Amino acid sequence: MKRVFSTLFAPLLVGLGLRLLFILKFPANSGDTILYEQMATNWLQHHVYAMNVNGAIAPVDLRMPGYPAFLAVIYWLTGKTGVAAHGVVMFAQALVDLADCVVIAALGVALLVLADGTARVKPVFVAGMWLSALCPFVANYAATLLTEVNAVFWTSVALLFAVYLAADTWQVMYPHRHRPWDWGTDYRAGAIPTGLAVGLGTLLRPETPLLLIAVWAGNAFALLPQRQTRHWLRIVLVTGIACAVPLLPWALRNAITLHQLQPLAPKNSNLPGELVPRGFMAWEKTWLYRVSDCYLVSWKLNDDVINLEQIPARAFDNDEEKERVAAILEQYNDDLTLTPQEDAAFAQLAGERTRRHPLRRYLLLPVARAFTLWFTPRIELLPVSGTVFPLKQSWQDDKVDQSVTVLFFLLNIVYVALGMVGAGRLWRWNPAVRPAVFMLAFFILLRTAFLTTLETPEPRYVLECFPALIACAATIFGKPCVASSTR
């Protein structure tokens, strides 16, 4: 049995089984899926990156082109589109996710090697494979048509090459220390693929360049105290240019077709000429921190009636404020279209609430959003309510429902805790690995901080951080050699 668990193919087979379980038993739908499918189909059939707007094909830029390109390739290979291609797309995503397991395991090995080149790498690689293959939080996204699986894969690739770059940084800091596992001293061997991977990831998720900032910060942590400013600037320049290369065709397309310089997707995902509800979103940011509230309020905007009684009490500081919101919603619910006047009224409410409680707006709510992003049960794609409290009543109502919710919640805590323990152990292990650990930690903190500024805090947006957590967790199974402790 021990030999079975130590083989490299066992976690891949089990991981494939887990993903097929999600695909066959729990396939999920998303509102964004329709957008991606329209763009992919129009791109393939009409050679235009466009959506169907009011019965006509209209070029748009409200989503990055990476995932529609992924769908279009599958449509072209299979001759199927839309719902008919869902099974093939999901299976392809399962394969991408399994490939990601290998990359994450390699990332764990790279961290181990950077800390101690004489340590045995196989236990860490196998542990990384098992931890990533059995992680359900990314695996269940193979069963829905969203960017997550592909975005996490390219994040893992970028992190792997970024650690490669960190190894070169160590050589610049200490050129007299030659080690048998050194990959060379040419920083471009790590900088160029790191930038390219970030650029390819950006074609899937527009916030991916946050990873590049973390790479720069990690190298600055190592190089600037050693007065290696010129070398750090070279890394910044090369990785930045490499990141821009995959984005150049997209930026040129937007300049030529839409007559605007737009290297990324619009922040608010709006169609040309569509009202951006900035006042409404500013009002949401003064009270919303749970994704369940998005279903009741945010995602109903301009599509469905917003019920005042379903809005949490924390959205109102007093009865007068609640009456004002009721008056705005009464007008909105008449035609289900937010007007500029109604949006301005929400903006006024947001300003008043912010001035009344600035600490709540700029500290307490972002912290609550961060906690929600990281510690929700992550069962949004499963046919589970997520209800835990009151414990006794929830258990009596549906034992399976509550058990699955609690299991996913605890499993999430385990992965986060293992990642933190692994990162702390690496930090104490050897100064050579500290720039890489600093980079990974900075990436997680930076991405989390950015996500707390969004009005709709979806937990899936932190899944790109899980490769770093799992890789650090895998290093727990690596044992330091005696020689390394004397460094």
User: Quick one: pLDDT at residue 273?
Assistant: 64
User: Quick one: pLDDT at residue 178?
Assistant: 46
User: Quick one: pLDDT at residue 231?
Assistant: 86
User: Quick one: pLDDT at residue 272?
Assistant: 62
Its pTM stands at 0.91
Mean pLDDT confidence for 216-231: 89
**Bridge partners, 215 (sequence order):** none
CA 214, 216, 219, 225 torsion: positive or negative? Answer: negative
479 or 254: which carries more pLDDT confidence?
Answer: 254
Apex 177 CA angle, 175 and 182, nearest 5: 90
Say whether pLDDT at 179 is over 80.
no
Instruction: Report the length, in residues, of the chain.
Output: 487
Q: How many CB atoms lie within 10 A of CB 12?
A: 16
User: Quick one: pLDDT at residue 348?
Assistant: 95
State the chain's mean pLDDT as an integer: 89
Q: Are 199 and 249 in contact (CB under 8 A)?
A: no
Give the tens place of pLDDT for each residue, 343-393. 999 999 999 999 999 999 999 999 999 999 999 888 888 888 777 667 777
User: Quick one: pLDDT at residue 484?
Assistant: 45
User: Quick one: pLDDT at residue 227?
Assistant: 85
Give the tens place of pLDDT for each residue, 379-403. 888 888 777 667 777 777 778 888 8
| 185 — pLDDT class (breaks 50, 70, 90) | low
Say whether pLDDT at 153 is over 60.
yes
User: Quick one: pLDDT at residue 44?
Assistant: 93
User: Quick one: pLDDT at residue 480?
Assistant: 61
- CA 454, 443, 221, 219: dihedral to nearest 10 degrees? -120
Give the tens place of pLDDT for each residue, 251-284. 999 999 988 888 888 777 666 667 889 999 999 9
